[in-house]
Amino acid sequence: MLYTSTRNRDLRINSAKAIVSGISKDGGLFVPEKLPYISLANLELLSNMNYIERASFILSKFLTDFTDNDILECVNKAYSKEKFSSDDIAPIVKLDDSKFVLELWHGPTCAFKDMALQLLPHLLTTSMKKEAGLKNVKILVATSGDTGKAALEGFKNVNGTSILVFYPENGVSDMQKLQMVTQDGKNVDVCSIKGNFDDAQSGVKKIFTDKELCDQLNENGVLLSSANSINWGRLVPQIVYYFSAYCDMLKNGHLSDGELVNIVVPTGNFGNILAAYYAKKMGLPVKKFICASNSNNVLTDFINTGRYDKNRKFYSTISPSMDILISSNLERLLFHLYNENDEKICNLYGELVNQGSFEVCEEVKMKLQDEFYGEFCDDIHTKKTIKSVFDKYKYLIDPHTAVAFNVYDKYVMDSKDNTKTIIASTASPYKFVKDVLDSIGEFADGNIFEQLGELSKITRTEIPKPISNLNNKNVRFNKVIFKDEMRSYLLNNTVCETI
């Protein structure tokens, strides 16, 4: 299996190279040249396997330059009992005859990014061994919250790696900050900057394009890498759980062979929903994808009008991991909808850079609307949805998942389609304890640990261990620097040694 670029179809590289490079030199994203096919008989076979076996099966179709043993080792390290609170890894919960929730937050940081970021470090270090000369990788992350913590947990104590995370001093939630500053591990470092998320991100981008710095690191056998969500190594682990969810439903008798399902995903950078789309292209029986956005509804408008326009107001919402105006992974979908026309993608993304918008042709718009339904939900309705879902099912959801539930209801009202539906649940409600308490009509007073206790008591649900354990942890990282000090910080810090 080889990979090509969305902006240069002549390119052909193997998966190790795609994972080590992250992004193509032409600015495009790596996509598989041809998708593997998973038959209904395969699905039946997968149904009798556990998550690790299912993951190995799917990954082996994509990472053909990895040995079976390579893959098994990576997957075993990622989805271990110590790291995931559910033996099923990504369990499916039936709420009623049509709603099935796919819980993607049983990993060490209680958000769905763990599903990919627990595996990526192992895929990356294995890929580096295949790409001669690269011994160590330094991961640099600018984060507005979830990604930083998930990357820290993924890379902590992984041989041949070190990780440095920059976050805006006043731009992450109390819980997110607490999760990061108490991070353990020998090869990790966390530093806050005086500025906002854009400052942190621009600073990191500047370092990546600093040729002198990169050369200097390369000479010492160190590769600078980003682990961000456009890396193929982050997308491929996400395909697995859609197959796994379907297989669980087959096994439990909720689906008959080949029965179609809908999939709802609360969407930001379009990675999670794109993985579901790939699963369908590989043979998973899916009818409709429901793309749920918050008030940053650039994707809703795109699906409904065919015009992508990032020139709009940016909202800071209670579902912050979806506060995005440029959904990077959309480029991969467009490449496929345009029948892999790389020239077309270059033109569209040129327009996005120059004028902040582009419009797809009528034919592509029809294809898009055939597969995707798009709607959005603001903060007030997000909160109402948390309450109504809890009242109706005694099932507690976080604000991101609530956006998905809300938009799904709109879809059912619009379409009258009662097909069984998988709703991706992307974070534990305890990660957003204050807004969740507020939504169910409780006053969120006291400190964060008192709030956690309160939520647990009222809803009779359990606080995830990684969150309750934060209470016993010491703050390890309290450095604050100016945004123009990021480069020198990277060069001079000795806390974070590669192991």
Ligand X SMILES: *Cc1c(COP(=O)(O)O)cnc(C)c1O
We find the least distance from the C-beta atom of residue 233 to ligand X, in angstroms, to be 14
CB of 455 to ligand X, least distance (A): 17
Give the interface segment with ligand X, choosing from 199-207, 216-224, 270-278, 487-495 (CB under 6 A): 270-278
Return the structure tokens found at 293: 């956005």
Q: How far is the CB of 267 from ligand X (least distance, A)?
A: 4
> Which C-beta is closer to ligand X: that of 270 or that of 376?
270
Task: Give the footprint of ligand X on residues 308-327 (CB under 6 A).
Answer: 321-322
User: Contact with ligand X (CB under 6 A): which of 24, 136, 267, 421?
Assistant: 267
Task: Read off the tokens for 58.
Answer: 């799917």
Q: Does 427 participate in binding ligand X (rule CB under 6 A)?
A: yes
DSSP 427: B
Q: Decide whether 244 or 321 has the Cβ nearer to ligand X.
A: 321
CA distance 222 to 471: 36
Closer CB to ligand X, 51 or 270, in the complex: 270
- Element spanning 421, H or E: strand 421-425
> Which stretch, 43-51, 213-221, 269-277, 368-376, contacts ligand X (CB under 6 A)?
269-277
Q: Tell me which of 426, 428, 439, 459 binds ligand X, using CB under 6 A.
A: 426
Q: Residue 440 CB, nearest distance to ligand X (Å)?
A: 19
Q: Which is nearer to ligand X, 168 or 268 (CB)?
A: 268
Q: What's the CA gap between 258 and 441, in Å, rounded? A: 42
Smaller CB separation from ligand X, 134 or 330: 330
* Cβ at position 395, least distance to ligand X in Å: 17
Site for ligand X in 146-165 (CB under 6 A): 146
CB of residue 326 to ligand X, shortest distance in Å: 11
**Nearer of residues 408 and 489 to ligand X, judged by Cβ:** 408
Main-chain dihedrals φ then ψ at residue 240, nearest 5 degrees: -55, -45
**DSSP annotation string for 208-263:** HT-HHHHHHHHHTTEEEE---TTSHHHHHHHHHHHHHHHHHHHHTTSS-TT--EEE
**Cβ 6 to ligand X shortest distance, Å:** 17
- The contact mask relative to ligand X for 354-393 (x = CB under 6 A, - = no) is ----------------------------------------
Indicate the residue among 160 and 374 with the shorter CB distance to ligand X.
Answer: 374
Shortest separation between residue 270's beta carbon and ligand X, angstroms: 5
Distance, in Å, from the CA atom of 227 to the CA atom of 96, rounded to the nearest integer, reads 37
Hey, how many other C-beta atoms are within 10 angstroms of the C-beta on 257? 10
Q: State the nearest-atom distance from the C-beta of 433 to ligand X, in Å.
A: 14
Identify the DSSP state of 463.
Answer: P
Name the residue nearer to ligand X (CB basis): 142 or 427: 427
Question: In terms of CB distance, is 156 or 400 closer to ligand X?
Answer: 400
Phi, psi dihedrals of residue 416, rounded to the nearest 5°:
60, 25
Order of strands across the sheet that contains 161-168: 222-225, 136-142, 161-168, 188-194, 480-482
How far apart (Å, rounded) are the C-alpha atoms in residues 378 and 376? 7
DSSP structure string for 363-375: HHHHHHHHHEEEE
Q: DSSP H helical segments within 252-297, as ranges?
A: 271-281
| Tokens (6 digits) for 40 | 């209904």
| Strand 8-13 relative to strand 3-5, pairing | antiparallel
DSSP H or E stretch at residue 121:
helix 120-130
- x-or-dash pattern for ligand X, window 78-117, by CB under 6 A? ---------------------------------xxx----
Of 211, 53, 236, the C-alpha closest to 127 is 236
| Shortest distance (Å) from residue 104 CB to ligand X | 8
Q: Name the amino acid, one letter, at 323.
A: D
Q: Is 58 helix (H, G, I), strand (E, B) or coil?
A: helix
Query: Which of 156, 215, 216 lies closest to 188, judged by CA?
Result: 156
Minimum CB–partner distance for residue 426 and ligand X (Å): 3
Question: Parallel, antiparallel, or unpaired: how do β-strands 30-32 and 3-5 relate?
Answer: antiparallel
**Binder of ligand X out of 268, 374, 464, 466 (CB under 6 A):** 268
Count of residues interacting with ligand X (CB under 6 A): 17
Q: Note the residues at the interface with ligand X (CB under 6 A).
A: 111-113, 146, 229, 266-272, 321-322, 400, 426-427
